[in-house]
Structure 1
């Protein structure tokens, strides 16, 4: 077994670091763009008088960073080569995401809006695996990279969050002008990115009874569409917001707008979350490492009562525990990402879902603990917005809910552990 980072990956990390220093940092420093990252960040990013949405100047800066990264061949790294990427593996993406987040806040990687100079594209694999035609795949994958298509994810509902099987949104067959299609009625919540989305991947029950996993379909609803209404944007712990509540009243789409098989929508959702969760876990780990390292440096230089803070066990021991957990978590994340690369994408749900959940829920807990400890070690200045810890805490706290609540992820782990799902079903299931 070899736990070292491959030479090719280390070389690519160095290439990315050089790109950040020569292209991204100067852009971050130009025209007072640093206001989006220093103590003014929340106000500078948020258009408070426009429903709390991201300011146009902020999103324009992100687009320019993305444009430069794409021109340099980095942004599409994880995408297949036929779409202009490098076919980057889950393992390499996990290492890169940790590496970026460990650098702290910056234009190179800002997770509040899923921005990074090395993009994360779970939608690519989702369309690649479940697109019903080559034309649909090309439209949404290439269109996504070209900026002509942007797909929001409509799964969660106001009355049904973690339990998607009881969703109330319904789609019934309806033919219009001789074209077979679906009429959609219902409501979605936390439909991130709808202010800029061209389509909403809307999950609806098309058959079966409430509570059944089968019978849920995914329909690609154009935005805008007659009957689709963005009701409100929900203000959150970390602003700006792009998380609306959306209603569907008699919205019609042709059957060609369906993604994947009729009634097989939950597998599509799982396809999306597994890639997203392992990479987001790596980002949370990196942010935790940043908080730990900044606390160590501060404790070595801060000298109350004539002695460095670092000499106190009350300072040392909590950071020791966090550093130990970070080391163990890193091995689990990289092992799980490597395992994901060894099997077909659709098999991940059946063979590795528990390990992905372990990585994700524990990483999200760890970063919140590390950010809180960093605030405590830094004292008053740590609590202020002149340090990034409050931002890291407020941002990553959401992932204990939004990547699938940690309780749901623990339930998934338990199902695998006790043999109700996964490989152990054949052995423990007989007991």
Structure 2
């Protein structure tokens, strides 16, 4: 299997690098001090990106976007996540929204691409995350509407979202085949952000969402009744590749900082770059980083080529997230107390990467799914 990064894509990613260096990096000291960007700051950065043509990158051209493809999306994410603020450009809808009806596209899809409407994705519940059969939020048909009851938890970006892509069970006996997707607008009676959930990561305070007899019209149902799981599979595969790419940027930035420090930090008359312990930590880190990069690029390339690649996405996300945990730990160790301080982003990255071994499917779930693909029915007996 052969793939390469086209020169024009390299030039495009260079423009993203320039944006990061000019717009994001001057804000890094304040971010490290405060542990967050205010929503107004993120909005201003998104608008700055829009003025530079960095908007709706993932949206297909037929919908008014730039349609850069999955490999390019991963390259952009890798570059942006060299900054600890987890910043992304606006205007790119969640993949599930391309399954909207024409009427739904006018209300939900196009406003994200053309304007500044945002959404969030609500799958995880207090009693279940990766297991779709564990979904307990219910949607019961009532004429031309659905009555939704339940709780979702650890939902990212809910405070900025104008609507929620919600997965609920419409027939619990059918398990995954009984899950249906709905588009629930903020302000709908019975829908509330019940509480923020403080976490150990900088600028990541997800929310708990509550649905108490929330009435949603059938016109807001996304896809067929019982078709939610297939929508989730496509959504999660896309998300796993982006998460893998995040780790590449994080790990690369940490290695860059550690290499520079090792060359200049002197102990007992020599730079610590001369110490074998430091050399091996860096050698292991760049080797694992390159392996994760190749896994991620391959899986993204397969998706762009329209070839099967779900298992490859599992492998990329699994390896990249565990790689980033090891690399950030080693780099923090190399810098010692300075790495632990808020003067540098390594401590922020160290805390941030921990969530990605859980979010969008735990590492254990990923290993299970890879094994199922490898072993077939024997893994299910």
Q: Is there any run of 5+ residues in structure 2 with no aligned partner, and where? A: none
User: 1:268-279 residue pairs with structure 2 within 5 A?
Assistant: 268-279=231-242
Which of residues 166, 190, 198 is equivalent to 1:235?
198
Judging changes above 3 Å, is the alpha-carbon distance between structure 1 residues 325 and 20 closer, same or farther for their aligned structure 2 residues?
closer
**1:138 deviation in Å?**
2.8
Match of 2:349 among 376, 392, 402: 392
1:19/1:314 CA distance change after superposition, 3 Å: closer
Alignment: residue pair count: 381
Does the 8 Å CA contact 1:194/1:242 hold for their aligned counterparts? no
TM-score by structure 2 length?
A: 0.93
Deviation per CA, 1:87-118, whole angstroms, max 9, x where unpaired? 101112222322333xx326xxx31xxx224x
**1:286 pairs with 236, 249, 258, which one?**
249
How far is the alpha carbon of 1:418 from its aligned partner?
Answer: 0.7
**Cα deviation per residue 1:143-188 (whole Å; 9 max; x = unaligned)?**
123455322222111112221212111111112xxxx111111111
Report whether the alignment pairs 1:64 with 2:44: yes
Say whether residues 1:259 and 2:222 are aligned partners: yes
SS in 1 for 2:376: coil
CA contact (8 A) 2:244 2:317 kept: yes
Work out which of the residue numbers 146, 153, 162 in structure 2 matches 1:182. Answer: 146
Task: Report if aligned partners of 1:169, 1:187 keep a CA contact under 8 Å in 2.
Answer: yes
Corresponding residue of 1:90: 70
Which residue of structure 1 aligns with residue 92 of structure 2? 121
Pairwise CA RMSD: 2.3
| Match 2:367 to one of 410, 413, 418 | 410
Paired residue secondary structure (2:315) = helix
Match of 1:9 in 2: 9
**Counterpart check, 1:152 vs 2:115:** no
CA distance in 2, matches of 1:156, 1:18: 36
- Residue 20 of structure 1 deviates from its aligned partner by 4.5
In structure 1, list runs of 5 or more residues that go unmatched.
Answer: 46-53, 345-350, 421-427
Query: Is 1:105 matched with 2:117?
Result: no
Alignment correspondent of 2:34: 41
Deviation at residue 86 of structure 1 after TM alignment: 1.6
1:382 aligns with one of 339, 345, 355: 339
3-state SS in 2 of match to 1:398: helix
Q: Deviation string for 1:44-71 (max 9, x for gaps)?
A: x3xxxxxxxx6xxx21111111112112
Q: Secondary structure at the match of 2:154?
A: coil
TM-score by length of 1: 0.82
- Change in Cα spacing, 1:120 to 1:236, as seen in structure 2 (3 Å) is farther
User: Closer, same or farther in 2 for the Cα pair 1:181/1:286, shift >3 Å?
Assistant: same
**How far off is 1:122 after superposition?**
5.4
**Residue deviations 1:387-430 (CA, integer Å, cap 9, x gap):** 1111001111111101211111111111101124xxxxxxx89x
Contact 2:16 2:79 in 1 (8 A): no
Determine the C-alpha separation between the residues in 1 that align with 2:77 and 2:166.
29
Give, in whole Å, the separation in 1 of the partners of 2:322 and 2:28: 29
Distance 1:19 1:318 in 2: 31
Give the deviation of 1:364 after TM superposition. Answer: 0.8
Does structure 1 retain, via aligned residues, the 8 Å contact 2:91–2:114? no
Structure 1 residues 239 and 12: alpha-carbon distance in aligned structure 2, compared to 1, 3 A threshold: closer
Q: Does 1:24 align with 2:23?
A: yes
